[in-house]
Chains A and B, each alone.
Chain A
Amino acid sequence: MSDRSPGLRLLSLLGCVLLWHVAATRHLSLPGLVTFANVPSPAEVLQAAWALLRSPKLAAHLASSLARVGAGFGAAMLVGVGLGLLIGRVRWVRAALLPPLEVLRPIPAVAWIPLAILMFPSSEASMVFVTFTGAVFPILLNTIHGVEAIDARLVASARSLGTRRWRLFSEVVAPAAAPSIVTGLSIGMGTCWFCLVTAEMIAGQYGIGYFTWESYTVQNYPAIVVGMLAIGALGMGSSALIRWAGDRLMPWYRPQRGAR
Chain B
Amino acid sequence: MSAPLSLSDLDLPRRNGELAFDAPWQSTVFALAAAVIEHAFGGDREPFRQQLIAAIAAQPGRPYWESWTAALEALAQTLPDRPMP
Tell me whether A and B are bound partners: no
Q: Which residues of B contact A (CB under 8 A)?
A: none
Q: Which residues of A contact B (CB under 8 A)?
A: none
